[in-house]
Amino acid sequence: MSEGLKVTDGQVVAMDYTLRVDGEIADSSEGHEPLEFLQGVGNIIPGLESALYGMAVGESKKVIVAAADGYGEFDAEALVEVPRAEFPPQIPLELGIELQVRGQDGEIMHGHISKVGEETVELDFNHPLAGKELHFDVTIAALREASDEELLHGHVHQDSQEEED
């Protein structure tokens, strides 16, 4: 089914990968199923998606993604100082604690505690990998044409593969 195919828009790509950030492994599919996504619709970061075009099953590549083409540049405006007294007592005021906060527009924002002071707590709403250069080792494990339903919905349906077999 994937013989002779190369990565193009509208295909389901199954990819094995290892992500290194600052020389350390940050994520990997090793020991797990390959990551499956629909190519060309923004299911993965833009810098990685664009580097995959034209790859064939079994082909491997090293891809370096600049911060701007990954999770974005670090944004100092995404740091928010909150008075310590506004924190509910059940939230431990410790570095790295992840929080979900509802913004003034009702949107849920994900952040973490980046600094704890005597009077204030700093929350960082940047993605944890914002501002980082990303180093991927990727191998295309499988390719297949996406179903009409997957194309309509813009993502892979896990049961589509069984329906086609």
Whether the Cβ atoms of residue 38 and residue 154 lie closer than 8 Å to each other? yes
- Between CA 25 and CA 135 the distance in angstroms is 9
pLDDT value, residue 67: 96
pLDDT value, residue 165: 42
pLDDT value, residue 162: 45
For range 152-162, the mean pLDDT: 76
76-124: CATH number: 2.40.10.330
pLDDT value, residue 51: 97
Checking if the pLDDT of 14 tops 90, the result is: yes
Within the chain, all domains assigned CATH 3.10.50.40 are found at 11-71+130-153
What is residue 148's three-state secondary structure?
helix
Based on DSSP, count helices (H) and strands (E) in the chain, helices before strands: 3, 9
For range 23-49, the mean pLDDT: 96
- Between CA 74 and CA 127 the distance in angstroms is 8
Tell me: domain 11-71+130-153, CATH 3.40.50.300, correct?
no
pTM of structure: 0.81
Within the chain, all domains assigned CATH 2.40.10.330 are found at 76-124
